[in-house]
Amino acid sequence: MKMQINTETNHQTMYNQVKEKISGTLQEQSGLQEDTIQAVIEEWKTLIKVTQPQYLKTILGIADANNIRELSSEEWKYLQNEMEQSFNVRITTGILVTGEEQKNRDTTWWTGKKQLQSDNYYLTNYMTYMKRELPQKVLETINEDTDAIMNNLADPDLESFSRYGMVVGHVQSGKTSNYASLICKAADAGYRFIVVIAGGQNNLRDQTQARLDEVFVGANYIGVGQLAGFKREKMPASLTNAKNDFKVETARAQGTTNFDNMKQPILVVIKKHTKTLDHLLKWLDIHYKNQVDKPMLVIDDESDYASINTKKEEDPTVINEKIRLLLQKFKKSAYVAYTATPYANIFIDHNAKNDGAGRDLFPSDFIYALEAPSNYFGAEKIFNKDNEKYVVEIPIDEVVYELDEDILYPPNEIPFVIKHKKDYDSELKKLPESLKDAVRLFVINIAIRNLRNQKKHNSMLIHISRFTGVHVKVKKLVASYFEDLKAEIKAYGNLANPSKYPHLNDMKDTFSARLKGIEFDFGTILKEVCLLVDSIQVVDVHQKAKIPLAYRKDVQSNVIVIGGLSLSRGFTLEGLSVSYFLRTTIYYDTLMQMGRWFGYRIGYEDICRVYLTDDINKKFGFIIDATNELVSRLNVMREENLTPDDFGLAVQLHPDSLLQVTARNKSKYTEDMYIEMNLDGQIKETRWISNIPADLDANEALLKGTILALQNGGFEHIATDSHVWKNVDKTIVQRFVGNYRLYKNDPLGLKSRMPIEFIKDYIERVNIDWDVVLYNGKDDAEFFQVDSIQVHRQYRSVKEKQGYFEVANRQLSRANPESIIMPAKFKKLISPQMRGKLEKPVLFAHALELEDSNNNIKINAVGFSISFPTSIDPFVNNVKVRINSVYKKQLEEAYKEEADEDGVYEDE
């Protein structure tokens, strides 16, 4: 066995060294062409074939020539796949919206002057070091983004200033890389005191400190400290370290008491906690009775958490007040809030201030929204398009929302309870089968990554509670199950017919159900599992945990992690491929932040799975739509030259639940109102299809009649596999939409998100012709035929509910349906951009073949989608939203102006 492990290690060394060399070559490419990666790989294939081992070992940096070998075709395939996912990355610079005062300031001071005069020492170190981690295109975009943010801070040579900005990113998308670059540039520009306020948990603060030590400080010759150009005399003074938060005694030991004597910048990374902020303010007050005359930059990470004032302005919450006091302590201060869920920040009263703490933290000077790289594994990818691929629904009989006191549950048979009390751990006796399935999948995933030469950290997340006692109990149950599984793997995994053993048979079933199309068979995977199963640990993460979760650089960690709050914000679980998530909340921002599964999954995205209930799955889907609307609004603001103070943001509330934008105490300056909804640039679909036989028959007849009317109307007809009719009289569309039979218990379309009465009104009032599309499905489906018009029906997976079929993935149309009528130059745009190019609305008619695998039924049905162009005069209707103080004020002023013109205005 030992010899086999050594051989595997040698093989791994060769693969990794070749990958590192190819990666280094690609990093140096200024502009990657489509075939560059393939060309570089072919060069290395040839080099390895024709070069003698004693020379290759020098080229590759391998100590022993006996370890030199040719890579297999499978290894070359993995290597190319990783390089393509790492380097064929599309990313664009972000969206900038600036304040009214900011528009009149010097916002080129950095790129137009200061950067040209600086040696850019800290930035150069950062970029040089990060080349080994990020593709060149991503680094270039980070550079451009942070240049824009720097320009909207202030020149530290100014006599005094205060700036308030916000950077909006994506959950687990690399915001730390962005603000690390910003910190380096600020240090180069002359900011002397840099404070990073990390999350509210020690593990996130420690992780953030370790990262900044690596890419900015370089102490103890780690990270940038290993670079040839590193200068110890320019090393930033860090008053905190990876193990110690800020304390007055620690800072005193550093000898850093007078900024005037400090030539290098000072870094402080603190937990977002009352005590640490108190310590920092106390230390500053000891040495500076009045305002400090040196420029300070404050980075507020996870700024929507704890930084928001949730009380009255005359008596603000403690953390909010102390951040404001910290800013007031410096004559020159810049505050940059970083968050992936900016709702609470936007809801800050933009006029709030008091005499003691000064103004509140509303980002009045700028808002900058970052774009995520194309290889980001985010909510859009998981919960919109390939939902069935990445999401595993937790069966409804395995969990309940809360225990029913009238039900007598059998002993040891209480299901997982989503809403539970602190003593729930005493009632928790067994694991649901879906969680056992998730554990088995994680074990399999580690083996797959090892077989793909990805012997790196692997994590599984189990998040079902906010109570420590429940975490401890779940850990015991998971550990007990895993020990049974491990024992059977070790005893029988290498036998000829292992599937006859219960746990191993379950593993095979998990493999078959969850990982269809994987390149390895189960036998190959099981052999690898036998080698690695002893390395897997079960760890609970909370404030009382005795053993901290740590990812060492010298050994592969394979961990099943159970936790709640300590894992909910900012903290990165390395190599996370399986998540089991039962927490629920009514708040958009909290729910998104719990999604630790977002991030980058180079080389193993295809095996990542998230176990969720149907309810939470739907909530994530709605949040995506609401967030996309927010970003779209920022785009409009930029184009219309609006400011953050003009940010009349209205974030749509969930129409079908208590799901809220953010906690009410964070949004006390907002209120719920019915405002007008705009159809411009939207797509609306019949995601819910009535399952009443008479409705199905009527809709089938309706579509056939509509096709006949299109054929007899003499409209331009384009036929390929699908059919397109151009410039159709709107009366044909009006008859189809008016007579289509929808699910009757959703008359306003708020639950299904098909507002039919609103759409009927649109067709009536907007005088314009339409385009109509009848899509063709796959060749193995039944035909739908009307006279000479024939198409295959489109297959859709559905779930039968009470009174309707719900289309899987919440998508009736597939990706970019508008492309069928787009000119060639627009076909590569994404769907929202295409709708911006539409000249008229489009009705997509769908002859469907529905399949509900749960009930084993197939049925023919008709659905439709409508894409609305953005070029038509806006058409609006009332919808309930939560609005911030800015928007409320704008509405009040607009209403007053209208009323004043009539000579009437009354306060309600």
* Tens digits of residue pLDDT in 81-114: 888 877 777 778 889 999 999 999 999 999 999 9
The confidence score (pLDDT) of residue 251 equals 77
884 vs 343: CA distance, rounded Å:
10
Q: Where in the chain is the domain with CATH 3.40.50.300?
A: 95-369
Q: Among positive and negative, which fits the CA dihedral 473, 475, 478, 483?
A: negative
**What angle is formed at CA 180 by the lines to CA 179 and CA 186, rounded to 5 degrees?**
85
Q: Decide if 404 contacts 413 (C-beta within 8 A).
A: no
18 three-state secondary structure:
helix
546 vs 567: CA distance, rounded Å:
16
Q: Decide if 445 contacts 607 (C-beta within 8 A).
A: yes
Q: What share of the chain is helix, strand, coil (3-state, %, to 5)?
A: 45, 20, 35
Task: Tell me which amino acid residue 387 is.
Answer: N
pLDDT above 50 (res 48): yes
What H or E segment, with its residue span, contains residue 183? helix 175-189
Query: What are residue 851's phi and psi, to 5 degrees?
Result: -135, 125
- Architecture of the structural domain at 95-369: 3-Layer(aba) Sandwich (3.40)
201 vs 466: CA distance, rounded Å:
14
DSSP output for 53-70: HHHHHHHHT-S-GGG--P
Task: Tell me which amino acid residue 289 is.
Answer: K
- Residue 654 φ/ψ region, left for φ over 0, alpha for ψ in the -120 to 50 degree band, beta for the rest: beta
What is residue 409's DSSP assignment? P
Helix segments in 613-672, DSSP class H: 614-639
Q: Locate 555 and state its tokens.
A: 């050994």
The string of pLDDT tens digits covering residues 462-498 is: 988 888 888 888 999 999 999 999 999 999 999 988 8
The confidence score (pLDDT) of residue 283 equals 93
Q: Which residue has the higher pLDDT, 110 or 37?
A: 110
Helix segments in 255-298, DSSP class H: 274-287
Q: Decide if 488 contacts 504 (C-beta within 8 A).
A: yes
In a 10 Å sphere around its CB, with 0-12 CB exposed, 13-18 middle and 19+ buried, how is residue 315 labelled? exposed
439 three-state secondary structure:
helix
745 vs 863: CA distance, rounded Å:
17
In a 10 Å sphere around its CB, with 0-12 CB exposed, 13-18 middle and 19+ buried, how is residue 204 labelled? buried
The confidence score (pLDDT) of residue 830 equals 80
Question: For residue 644, what are the contacts with CB-CB under 8 A and spacing of at least 6?
Answer: 97, 98, 99, 166, 350, 362, 363, 364, 365, 366, 367
Q: Decide if 302 contacts 208 (C-beta within 8 A).
A: no
Length of the chain: 908
540 vs 60: CA distance, rounded Å:
40
327 vs 317: CA distance, rounded Å:
16
Q: What is the mean pLDDT of residues 252-269?
A: 79
372 vs 174: CA distance, rounded Å:
9
What is residue 660's DSSP assignment? B
Q: Locate 61 and state its tokens.
A: 């940096």
630 vs 625: CA distance, rounded Å:
9
pLDDT above 50 (res 124): yes
The string of pLDDT tens digits covering residues 811-845 is: 788 778 999 999 988 888 888 888 888 889 999 99
Q: Which residue has the higher pLDDT, 808 or 337?
A: 337
- SS3 per-residue string spanning 579-621: EEECCCCCEHHHHHHCCCCCEECCCCHHHCEEEECHHHHHHHH
> If you count DSSP H runs as helices and E runs as strands, how many of each does the chain have, helices first?
28, 34
What is residue 113's DSSP assignment? I
* Confidence category of residue 875, pLDDT binned at 50, 70, 90: low
pLDDT above 60 (res 907): no
The CA-based diameter of the chain, rounded to the nearest angstrom, is: 94
Q: Locate 136 and state its tokens.
A: 């060149």
Q: Locate 198 and state its tokens.
A: 């990390």
pLDDT above 80 (res 153): yes
Helix segments in 378-521, DSSP class H: 379-380, 387-390, 433-451, 468-492, 502-514
269 vs 287: CA distance, rounded Å:
19
- Angle between helix axes 522-532 and 502-514 (nearest 10 degrees) is 120
Residue 658's CB is within 10 A of a number of other CB atoms, namely 9
The confidence score (pLDDT) of residue 810 equals 61
Question: For residue 839, what are the contacts with CB-CB under 8 A and spacing of at least 6?
Answer: 869, 871
The confidence score (pLDDT) of residue 877 equals 55
Tell me the range of 615-619, 707-711, 884-888 where mean pLDDT is highest: 707-711
344 vs 365: CA distance, rounded Å:
17
Q: Decide if 774 contacts 722 (C-beta within 8 A).
A: yes
The string of pLDDT tens digits covering residues 302-328 is: 888 889 998 888 889 999 999 999 999
Q: Locate 558 and state its tokens.
A: 């394979």
Per DSSP bridges, beta strands 558-563 and 789-792 are unpaired
The confidence score (pLDDT) of residue 11 equals 59
Per DSSP bridges, beta strands 330-339 and 161-168 are parallel
Task: Tell me which amino acid residue 480 is.
Answer: S
* Confidence category of residue 900, pLDDT binned at 50, 70, 90: very low
Looking at 49-63, 127-141, 454-468, 627-641, which range is the least confident one? 627-641
